[in-house]
Amino acid sequence: MNHLFDLNAAAGIKNRQVPFFHAEWPAPANVKTLITTRQGGVSEGSYRSLNLGVHVGDNPEHVRQNRMIIQQQINLPVVYLNQVHGTVVVEAASHIGTVPDADASVDRTATAACAVLTADCLPVLFCDRGGSVVAAAHAGWRGLAGGVLKNTITAMAVPPEDIMVYLGPAIGPEAFEVGQDVYDIFYAQNPSMANAFEPIGGGKYLADIYALARMSLQREGVTMIYGGEDCTVLGRDTFFSYRRDKATGRMASIIWLDNHNR
């Protein structure tokens, strides 16, 4: 347990009022995760306090310091992505020190940590049952519809039935209002996706991005799916939310292989 977790435990802070937490899933011991909240950093104002996004208007020096806070918790270089709501998956180890245009990364070398930044979109962490490969994907509704999860599973190059997935903090079904166009896109792919939408009138729906992700993963043969319990919009003190605040920071969901401790 790192010192930040210890400090919060000593203070009696509960309900994820902590700088970081870990994926709650039965992953192999060498698979490590770190999921940040908005707490524990140096940013101010709308970005208070652990903003990790360099593209949101925050003081660049504050972002640099925040990323150093994260790097101190991880024994491998963290590879961030320039996320474009697409479906491209890259090898994290090939992009240490660079920022590729992609929305997912995979690693089987244990030399780089895969990371995605979010503030309502769904962060998805992957590993295989044997602890040989990990991946992280950024999945807003466009990425989900486009197949970013399918592409990530393909890039992992292991049987889907051996893959387990953790769904990190994202906009919850009580807050994710979408239009008819979004409903139509998913319905056209699979009519059963309609079960993830609740009509609220006027051609509007409340969408369950967690349910959409689960159905997308199950369609690819993945059945070990965990997480999907947090709402970034409703968790004002815990999570950044673009839909709620517009000017806001970004959180990171990070996964890596620690083969020194197998």
Amino acid 15: pLDDT: 44
CA 123 to CA 105: how far, in whole Å? 12
Residue 260: predicted pLDDT: 81
pLDDT tens-place string over residues 205-254: 999 999 999 999 999 999 999 999 999 999 999 999 999 999 999 999 99
pLDDT at 204 over 50: yes
| pLDDT per position as a tens digit, 110-166 | 999 999 999 999 999 999 999 999 999 999 999 999 999 999 999 999 999 999 999
pLDDT band, very low/low/confident/very high, at 259 (cuts 50, 70, 90) = confident
Identify the pLDDT of residue 31: 98
Q: Which CATH superfamily is domain 3-170+226-261 in?
A: CNF1/YfiH-like putative cysteine hydrolases (3.60.140.10)
List residues bridging with 137 in a β-sheet: 104, 124
pLDDT at 56 over 50: yes
pLDDT of residue 6: 38
Spatial neighbors of 75 by CB under 8 A, at least 6 apart, are 258, 260
| pLDDT at residue 193 tops 70 | yes
Query: Which pLDDT value is given to residue 18?
Result: 65
Report the C-alpha gap between 125 and 68 in whole angstroms: 22
Q: What mean pLDDT is predicted for residues 99-119? A: 98
Put residue 89 in one of left, alpha, beta given phi > 0 → left and psi -120 to 50 → alpha.
beta
Give the pLDDT of residue 101. Answer: 98
Q: Is the pLDDT of residue 10 over 60?
A: no
Note the pLDDT of residue 262. Answer: 57
**CB-based contact 223:230 (threshold 8 Å):** no
At residue 1, the pLDDT reads 30
Query: Does residue 261 register a pLDDT over 80?
Result: no
Which residue reads 């309502």 in tokens?
Answer: 120
Find out whether 27 and 164 touch, Cβ atoms under 8 Å: yes
* pTM of the predicted model as reported, rounded to 2 decimal places: 0.93
Q: How far apart are CA 33 and CA 89, in angstroms?
A: 19
**Predicted confidence (pLDDT) at residue 9 exceeds the cutoff of 90:** no
| Residue ranges per structural domain of the chain | 3-170+226-261
| pLDDT of 12 strictly over 70 | no
